[in-house]
Amino acid sequence: MERARLMGHKRDYHTQRQLLGIIFIIPTVLFLLVFVIYPVIYNVILSFTDARLMKPDFSFIAFDNYKKLFSNMRFLKYVKNTLIWTFFSVIGQLLLGLSIALLINKKKSGTGLRSFLLIPYVVPAVALALVTKWVTNGDYGIVSWWLNSLGLLEYRQSPLAVPGSAMAVLIIVNIWRSYPFPMLIYWATLKGIDKELYDAANVDGAGTFQTFWNITLPHLKNTTIVLAILRIVWTATYFDLIWLITGGGPAGTTTHLPIMIYQASFGTFQTGYASSISVVLGLFLFICVVFYVKKTIANDR
Amino acid sequence: MFKKMVVLVLLLVVGAMVFAGGNSEDTVVEEKDTSQKIVIWTNLTADAQAVVLRKQFTEVAQEMDVDFEMVTISFGDMYTKLATAVESGTVPDIMHTNFSGTAYLYSQDMLSPMDDVIADLGKDDFIASYLHVLNAEGKTWGLPDWALHTSVWYRKDLFEKYDIDIPTDWDEFMAAAEKLTIDNDGDGKTDIYGFPVALNATHVAAQTFYEFLYSAGVTTVDPETGEYTFGSQKETAEEVLDYMMELYHNVSPKSSIEWAWSEYRNALVEGTVAMTLDMGAVILMSQSNNPEMLENLGCFDLPGPDGHKAASFGSGYAFVASNSGDSDQIKLKKEFLTRLYTKERAAERALSRPMFAFPSLYSAVATYRDDPKVALFGEQIDTITDAFENNNWYWYGMENGLSQLSSQIESTTFFGETLQSVALGMESTEDAIEYIDQQLQEQVALIQ
Amino acid sequence: MKTNIIKHIRDDFWFYIMVLITVMFVGFPLLWMALSSLKPSVELFKMPPQIFPKNPTLLWYKNTFSNSTVVRYFFNSFLVASSTMIIDMVIATLGAYSLARFSYRGRRFIMMTVLSAYCLPPIMLMIPLYRIIAALGLNSSYLGVIIGHVTFTFPFSVWLLIPFFQKVPKEMEEAAIVDGATSLKIFSAIMLPLCVPGILSTGIMAFILSWNEYLLSSVLIISDTMKTLTVGLANYISSTEIDWGAIMALGTATTLPIVIMFSAIQKYFVEGLTAGAVKG
């Protein structure tokens, strides 16, 4: 008797519960629809139009924006810049993140140090950009001064005014800003490796390098793939830092596609054209995202 | 547990702030409803200007018993903001902006013509060339407030010391700049450069280039007909660019490709360059940063290639009124503007940036000259006012009056990027001019 | 035995050298910013630069904070970031709970969309979002900026929160059912209290992201009085005169509160992120 009552309650509960789950997800779904999915579709639509920033009406011009983009003399140069920026930033931050993770994983008392090393993760890009401009100032910057003392830079020159070195500065600053994320993830992965594996290796007389090569690295493979994909997406589309430090200069040597998008939409007010650039960029990254999402969701939940 | 507490406390503080924020918003709204309100935007380029504008707006608003709201827009993101405003229909009633901004608003059909106000104030009192720039379709679309003129600002003491005369053509200019590129202590490092070729991609590169282009007679569009002419003057443009590059390689600090206004002004004021192109803002900078340098500074106009200077580069600011609202509202805006154009107020506004801004009213020029801040520079004022009255001066793309082309040039960076590429040896002059021509033509096509 | 100790000392030595180099690399920009903000003009523009200020001064801070616009920037940033945080916390808590503990059709798809949205960078959303917000008549209003910020922070918040809800043992829920609790009651009396640290730290993270956001804010805000700190700070440099001391002071003042907040929630953040982002 008692049991039947309980079963009934449980059944009621399940219907009720199901309803709650659906009600709870509604705000998320609505927000995703209106401010994420719709914008993405809208962006694709805009890329086939001659929309301008201040005109509400526009007409369809098929692939004209894309034709214009691919016939732009500078487009390939900007793609190349994007690739350089992304490649070195991602490699750099993964390597640095991994090295630091290995370092703090060594000692038990690494928490305080870890906390300190996570700080760059939340430093506002604007503040970082301004410090970068200050230390690389041609006249009064301390980094310019050091480089000049080392004979690497002309007197009263700024590394930001030299092609190549401007990109290098940006990449270093970007690595500084973004290594904490990989560091954290690598650190968590390292914690998850079974200690017994190392003990066994020690018994077998394997050296530090050997254990790293044979045990640690294989365990990091999946993490690295997922991290790399995620960071490629974020880095290739990251706008603030470059915009605020060099604005794409000198001579367009640090202009990457996001800067090109911004200039097209707020420089020449060609919203449609800007959208077509972001669609091209998005297509590349979409493949990465799909891969990442599949891998993460398959692995986890 | 402790950390939880910290988080909670933070959260409460934040919540309280939101609450406070909500409240203060409400009170602002209430205030707004009491009487008619005029929304005024101004490009903020220097704090001193904003202070004077706010003071004058307050006075006029009191005289007329209206409310006003002054919104300062930094020059750097003016076009973004204007576009946003136009798109959302929140265009201000009055805007104080440069001639390109005026052109932009005009191209969006946002402006009310000002000829009636000008007639009331006395058309003859306005310097004619100022009115000309703001002209389109036979109407004047803004009240010129003040204008600025590009000259070569130089160190009189160094010219004297090295026995240099004011150059009258480009060869002499180059020779002077070379003489003034000096290594004082013989350590192999140049201490003073003759002339910096400032090529920062935002605004500055195009401004530098256009002063040279205009001097040599190259224009974007024909001053008479408004036809696109840059394409047919490419050879001259290449020569101009070659000359600029020679200056860059011989007499300019290498970092100047990234220099903007503050860098080259600072360099002259601090004594690390001997000459620079500028609109006179070096004076205010010198007054505040290095007063001892003040008496050493003078100016002359950049000569033409072989003596004859075709035109020079200049611009200015204007007050414009939007055409929104009924005729009463437009009348109200115009009355507000009329009251801003007493000679004292016009002079006071120009004096908020001495030697940078030159008043547009003849009657104000007299007051301007008497002010102690500019009295020191009587000679320079003669040179510059003479140039305003008697010579041709243009702002990029506006050789034939108001044109949106100017705002397109101002809000893009292709000039800067291309000129820097040439300076760094990554592109030939020929390719660079070709690319600029292509981009300009694209812009021209866009606005038609 | 002896060699072991030497090896140990040698290892330690290298360990600390590496740590020192890392700490210097990480600390340098922040330290230099803070030190520069304490230097009077004479020392700022002295070549070669001195590391530590000889006559430290708070003049730049005094100048900066006596400017009412700057105070306004702080207020704006606070308003936008805290509103973003609150909206985020509500939507994300509900969403994450639903995604973590329920199974229904489309759940997997929603999860994938959330994760994809988390990867979607602001520059891709900039143009359409700008137009949508303008069409809603919300540009140049706080609400417009807040919507923009919620758009790019909340997928991350949901993602951070899911593991916190997943961690709550099933048995607790079942025990409550036996006691006759409704599902809403279970959520409010069991789930929420257990996940408070996670929810709060996620909220603070949203606050931080919003506080630091530049691109959308700079595009959506018109008037100077509504600018957030990052936009105001960025304008300091693009204006015609550059006041390095004041910039460094404002930069420090912008960064410091965020770093303090982050330190307070770090433990939970690390927990959420390492559980949610990568497994295996």
Chain C residues whose CB is inside 8 A of the A46 CB are 127-128, 131
Inter-chain touch B262–C241, beta carbons under 8 Å: yes
Neighboring chains of C (3 or more beta-carbon pairs < 8 A): A, B
Q: Is B202 a residue whose pLDDT tops 60? A: yes
Q: Is C140 a residue whose pLDDT tops 80? A: no
CB-neighbour burial class of residue B299 (10 A; exposed 0-12, middle 13-18, buried 19+): buried
Using pLDDT thresholds of 50, 70 and 90, give the confidence band for residue C105.
confident
Nearest to A249 among B417, B438, B446 (CB): B417
Rounded average pLDDT over A123-151: 92
Q: How far apart are CA B199 and CA B315, in angstroms?
A: 19
Q: What pLDDT sits at residue C242?
A: 76
Mean pLDDT, chain C, rounded, equals 85
Please give the domain boundaries of chain B with CATH numbers for all domains.
37-149+315-375 (3.40.190.10), 151-310+400-447 (3.40.190.10)
Q: Is B32 a residue whose pLDDT tops 80? A: no
Q: Which residue of C195, C240, C244 is the best one to mutate when testing the B interface, meaning the one whose CB has the most B CBs within 10 A?
A: C240
Q: How far is A265 from chain C (nearest CA, A)?
A: 8
- The region of weakest confidence among A172-181, B73-82, B312-321 is B73-82
Inter-chain touch C219–B17, beta carbons under 8 Å: no
Q: Which residue of A has its CA nearest to C249?
A: A127
Using pLDDT thresholds of 50, 70 and 90, give the confidence band for residue A211.
confident
Q: What pLDDT sits at residue B29?
A: 39
Using pLDDT thresholds of 50, 70 and 90, give the confidence band for residue B4.
low
- CB proximity C174 to B under 8 Å: no
- Which residues are CB-contacts of C2 (< 8 A; sequence separation ≥ 6)? none
Q: How far apart are CA C123 and CA C129, in angstroms?
A: 10
Q: Is A299 a residue whose pLDDT tops 70? A: no
CB-neighbour burial class of residue A191 (10 A; exposed 0-12, middle 13-18, buried 19+): exposed
Q: What pLDDT sits at residue A180?
A: 93
Q: How far is B421 from chain A (nearest CA, A)?
A: 5
ω into residue B305 within 30 of 0, thus cis?
Answer: no
Chain C residues whose CB is inside 8 A of the A245 CB are none
Inter-chain touch A54–B189, beta carbons under 8 Å: no
Using pLDDT thresholds of 50, 70 and 90, give the confidence band for residue A7.
low
Q: How far apart are CA C209 and CA B379, in angstroms?
A: 55
Inter-chain touch A163–B446, beta carbons under 8 Å: no
Q: How far apart are CA B58 and CA C77, in angstroms?
A: 29
User: Which helix (H) or strand (E) segment is B40 a member of?
Assistant: strand B37-44
Q: Is B252 a residue whose pLDDT tops 90? A: yes
Length of chain B: 448
Nearest to C140 among B8, B77, B88 (CB): B88
Q: Which residue of A has its CA nearest to C113?
A: A32
Inter-chain touch C127–A16, beta carbons under 8 Å: no
Q: How far apart are CA B412 and CA B440, in angstroms?
A: 11
Between chain A and chain C, the number of residue pairs with CB atoms below 8 A apart is: 286
Rounded average pLDDT over A127-145: 91
- CB proximity B28 to C under 8 Å: no
Q: Is B16 a residue whose pLDDT tops 60? A: no
Rounded average pLDDT over C139-146: 85
- The region of weakest confidence among A69-78, B16-25, B428-437 is B16-25
Asked if B373 and B351 touch (Cβ cutoff 8 Å), the reply is yes
Q: Is B205 a residue whose pLDDT tops 90? A: yes
Pairing between strand B94-98 and B312-321?
A: antiparallel
Q: Is B314 a residue whose pLDDT tops 50? A: yes
We find that the CATH architecture of domain C60-276 is Orthogonal Bundle (1.10)
B309: nearest Cα among B383, B229, B415, B203: B383
User: Of B382 and A244, which is predicted with more confidence?
Assistant: A244
The angle at the Cα of C35, spanning C32 to C37, to the nearest 5 degrees, equals: 110
Q: Which residue of A has its CA nearest to C51?
A: A142
Chain C residues whose CB is inside 8 A of the B17 CB are 75, 78-79, 82
Q: Which residue of A has its CA nearest to C238?
A: A244
Q: How far apart are CA C172 and CA C190, in angstroms?
A: 8
In the three-class reduction of DSSP (H, G, I as helix; E, B as strand; rest coil), residue B189 is classed as coil
Q: What pLDDT sits at residue B48?
A: 80
Inter-chain touch C207–B72, beta carbons under 8 Å: no
Inter-chain touch A100–C22, beta carbons under 8 Å: yes
Q: Which residue of B199, B258, B415, B434 is the best one to mutate when testing the A interface, meaning the one whose CB has the most A CBs within 10 A?
A: B258
Q: Is B408 a residue whose pLDDT tops 70? A: yes
Q: What pLDDT sits at residue B76?
A: 67
In the three-class reduction of DSSP (H, G, I as helix; E, B as strand; rest coil), residue A297 is classed as helix
Q: What pLDDT sits at residue C279?
A: 38
Rounded average pLDDT over A47-76: 85
Chain C residues whose CB is inside 8 A of the B202 CB are 238
Q: What pLDDT sits at residue B1?
A: 45
User: Of B39 and A203, which is predicted with more confidence?
Assistant: B39
Q: How far apart are CA B359 and CA C201, in angstroms?
A: 57
Inter-chain touch A118–C23, beta carbons under 8 Å: no
Side by side, which strands form the sheet with B297-300? B275-278, B151-155, B297-300
Q: What pLDDT sits at residue A163?
A: 87
Q: How far apart are CA C266 and CA C277, in angstroms?
A: 16
Inter-chain touch A54–B86, beta carbons under 8 Å: yes
- CB proximity B14 to C under 8 Å: yes
Which residues of B have a CB under 8 Å from any CB of A? 79-80, 83, 86-87, 108, 189-190, 200-202, 253-255, 257-258, 263, 272, 408, 411-413, 416-418, 420-421, 423-424, 426-427, 435, 438, 443, 446
- Which residues are CB-contacts of B159 (< 8 A; sequence separation ≥ 6)? B165, B166, B176
Nearest to B10 among C137, C222, C264 (CB): C264
Nearest to C222 among B21, B76, B84 (CB): B84
Inter-chain touch C239–B75, beta carbons under 8 Å: yes
Q: How far apart are CA C66 and CA A75, in angstroms?
A: 46
Asked if C231 and C218 touch (Cβ cutoff 8 Å), the reply is yes
Chain B residues whose CB is inside 8 A of the C235 CB are 74, 76-77
Q: What pLDDT sits at residue A47?
A: 93
User: Of C197 and A175, which is predicted with more confidence?
Assistant: A175
- CB proximity B362 to C under 8 Å: no
Mean pLDDT, chain B, rounded, equals 86
Nearest to B14 among C82, C220, C223 (CB): C82
**Cα-only R_g, chain C:** 24
Using pLDDT thresholds of 50, 70 and 90, give the confidence band for residue B7.
low
Q: Is A110 a residue whose pLDDT tops 70? A: no
User: Of C230 and C220, which is predicted with more confidence?
Assistant: C230
Q: What is the pLDDT of residues C55-67, one digit of tens each?
A: 899 999 998 888 8
Q: Which residue of B has its CA nearest to A160?
A: B258
Q: What is the pLDDT of residues B287-298, one digit of tens each?
A: 888 889 988 999
